[in-house]
């Protein structure tokens, strides 16, 4: 799977990170390190003129560790290209994101980018959202409102809406923004219309961001087990 992630990341960088691109958004997860690896390979000459905007703590560490200049979205509101991972992608390039609980800053950088590219391994290359990623839609919520939102998600039709608990941490996962995450499963009839579901969930008071990225991605690159790449535009 790592080779597939690397192949997808390399193809995305080779096709979409041009020498003239100076502001680059770097996503979160285990695939984006290969994106940074490939950008570093473009050489110090082109990279000294670039600023790299992170989508969270992990992303920031990745940029700094690779000796790249750290930018922020306040100084660089317009981003040339953002490359990020995803948990599931459908045939219309809609994505479930937030497996790493970074979807708020990821969506800000995806929106701010002229081009938003997804990189992933073959497991994420799907038809309808939720067929591959079974953990549900990640929803960032204010701590104060989480149980109210959970009840409303069930009323909306979620088959299972659960507060995301820490693994090496007692209690719930806390995002880089100090909020909680609810993972809410919905059946196919909802997941076939991700933009409708996004709007419905986003309107619930206490919801901060929803891990449904609809009509945002210009291209997605998937690494396959046989070493080939599938590109969806």
Catalytically active residues are 106
Q: How far is the CB of 43 from ligand DER (least distance, A)?
A: 25
Q: Is residue 136 involved in binding ligand DER (CB under 6 A)? A: no
What is the x/- site pattern for ligand DER, positions 18-57, by CB under 6 A? ---------xxxxx--------------------------
Residue 84 engages ligand DER in binding (rule: CB under 6 A): yes
- 85 touches ligand DER by CB under 6 A: yes
Size of the site for ligand DER (CB under 6 A): 17
Question: What's the sign of the alpha-carbon dihedral 71, 74, 75, 76?
Answer: positive
What span, in angstroms and rounded, lies between the C-alpha atoms of 106 and 213?
A: 10
Interface residue with ligand DER, options 80, 88, 90, 106 (CB under 6 A): 106
Question: Per DSSP, which regions of 152-202 are E strands?
Answer: 160-163, 180-185
Distances (CA, A) of 25 to 21, 56, 114, 187, 217: 11, 11, 10, 32, 14
- Pick between residue 137 and residue 152 the one whose CB is nearest to ligand DER: 137
Please, what is the minimum distance in Å from the beta carbon of residue 45 to ligand DER?
Answer: 29
Alpha-carbon distance of 44 to 71, in angstroms, equals 17
Task: Kindly tell me the burial class for residue 27, based on how many C-beta atoms sit within 10 Å of its own C-beta (0-12, 13-18, 19 or more).
Answer: buried
Site for ligand DER (CB under 6 A): which residue of 12, 102, 207, 217?
102
- Is residue 126 part of the contact set for ligand DER (CB under 6 A)? no
Give the three-state DSSP class for 149. helix
Establish if 185 lies at the interface with ligand DER (CB under 6 A): no
Using rule CB under 6 A, residue 59 touches ligand DER? no
Q: Report the candidate in 192, 184, 199 with the shortest Cα–Cα distance to residue 153.
A: 184
Contacts with ligand DER, residue ranges (CB under 6 A): 27-31, 84-87, 97-100, 102-103, 106, 120
């Amino acid at each position: 799977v790592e080779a597939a992630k690397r192949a997808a990341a390399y193809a995305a960088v080779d096709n979409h990170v041009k020498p003239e691109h100076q502001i680059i958004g770097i996503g979160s997860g285990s695939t984006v390190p290969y994106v940074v690896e490939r950008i570093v390979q473009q050489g110090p000459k082109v990279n000294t003129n670039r600023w790299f905007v992170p989508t969270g703590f992990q992303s920031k560490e990745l940029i700094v560790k690779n000796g790249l200049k750290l930018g922020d979205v306040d100084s660089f509101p317009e981003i040339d290209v953002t490359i990020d991972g995803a948990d599931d992608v459908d045939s219309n390039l809609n994505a479930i994101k937030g497996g790493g609980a970074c979807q708020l800053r990821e969506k800000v950088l995806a929106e701010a980018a002229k081009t938003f590219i997804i990189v992933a391994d073959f497991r994420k290359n799907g038809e309808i959202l939720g067929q591959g990623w079974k953990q549900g839609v990640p929803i960032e919520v204010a701590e104060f409102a989480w149980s109210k939102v959970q009840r409303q998600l069930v009323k909306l039709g979620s088959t299972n809406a659960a507060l995301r608990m820490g693994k090496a941490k007692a209690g719930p996962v806390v995002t880089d923004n100090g909020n909680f995450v609810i993972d809410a499963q919905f059946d196919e009839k909802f997941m076939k219309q991700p933009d409708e579901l996004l709007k419905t969930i986003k309107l619930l008071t206490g919801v901060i961001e929803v891990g449904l990225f609809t009509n945002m991605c210009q291209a997605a690159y998937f690494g396959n087990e046989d070493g080939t790449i599938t590109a969806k535009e």
